[in-house]
A and B are shown apart, each in its own frame.
Chain A
Amino acid sequence: DVKVTQSSRYLVKRTGEKVFLECVQDMDHENMFWYRQDPGLGLRLIYFSYDVKMKEKGDIPEGYSVSREKKERFSLILESASTNQTSMYLCASGTGQGTYEQYFGPGTRLTVT
């Protein structure tokens, strides 16, 4: 079974703090993705990565950065957390071929106060 794990299920941070969300996958997938999910808006892509040390902006990258130093690990960084970044964050991984099916982690619900 593909396993995608995220470092925390729930996280509470203060405005201005630097926040790290970690994601690890065990299927040797080339692609990894970070999404946020807000009510009525569906999943929106923040950043994705095709390979180690490679990253591409998604649809809403402002206020975020990412790091992929190893193939299995993809980190999302909030440089200075703000209240409008309160959301559910989902990580996913997938192969770079075929039907591009994605496998998701359980999500991190981040609250910024």
Chain B
Amino acid sequence: ILNVEQSPQSLHVQEGDSTNFTCSFPSSNFYALHWYRWETAKSPEALFVMTLNGDEKKKGRISATLNTKEGYSYLYIKGSQPEDSATYLCAFLQGAQKLVFGQGTRLTINP
């Protein structure tokens, strides 16, 4: 089983502050890295799918970078808002179309 690690496991941030967290994955046989946001009582939703080394994706105040050679991706949130409170999951796409998920980073924004 491939190892996908996320850190930290949980994070409390003041409203308005910026934050970031990490996903580490195997650097060999890379195909794609997915980021999902999972809000309480809702379904996980895809944020980004990243495929190229050096890729940088942005959606509003949220952005992500990818380094496939060293096997990590960062997710950044600028100016955190209460609606950003969620669990953020990264997932490594291995062969046979399967995703291997990290354990998630649970983000809480304090007003």
Determine the distance from Cα of A4 to Cα of B97 in the docked complex, in whole angstroms: 19
Determine the distance from Cα of A108 to Cα of B97 in the docked complex, in whole angstroms: 24
Is A58 touching B98 in the complex (CB atoms < 8 A)?
A: yes
Is B42 touching A101 in the complex (CB atoms < 8 A)?
A: no
Nearest residue, chain B, Cβ from A94 = B97
The residues of A with any CB-CB pair to B shorter than 8 Å are 4, 31, 35, 40-45, 48, 50, 56, 58-59, 90, 94, 96, 99-107
A-B contact pairs, 22 of them (CB 8 A): A31-B97, A41-B103, A42-B89, A43-B91, A45-B99, A48-B97, A48-B98, A56-B96, A90-B43, A90-B44, A99-B32, A99-B49, A99-B93, A100-B93, A102-B34, A102-B46, A102-B99, A103-B46, A104-B43, A104-B44, A105-B43, A106-B43
Could you tell me the distance in whole angstroms from the C-beta of B52 to the nearest C-beta in chain A? 12
The residues of B with any CB-CB pair to A shorter than 8 Å are 1, 4, 6, 9, 32, 34, 36, 41-46, 49, 51, 89, 91, 93, 96-104
Determine the distance from Cα of A98 to Cα of B91 in the docked complex, in whole angstroms: 15
Other contacts beyond A41-B103, A104-B45: 20, CB < 8 A = A35-B101, A40-B9, A40-B103, A42-B104, A45-B98, A45-B100, A48-B97, A56-B96, A58-B98, A90-B43, A96-B97, A99-B34, A100-B32, A100-B97, A100-B99, A101-B46, A101-B49, A105-B43, A106-B42, A106-B43
Collect the chain B residues with CB atoms within 8 Å of residue A106's CB.
41-43
Collect the chain B residues with CB atoms within 8 Å of residue A58's CB.
98
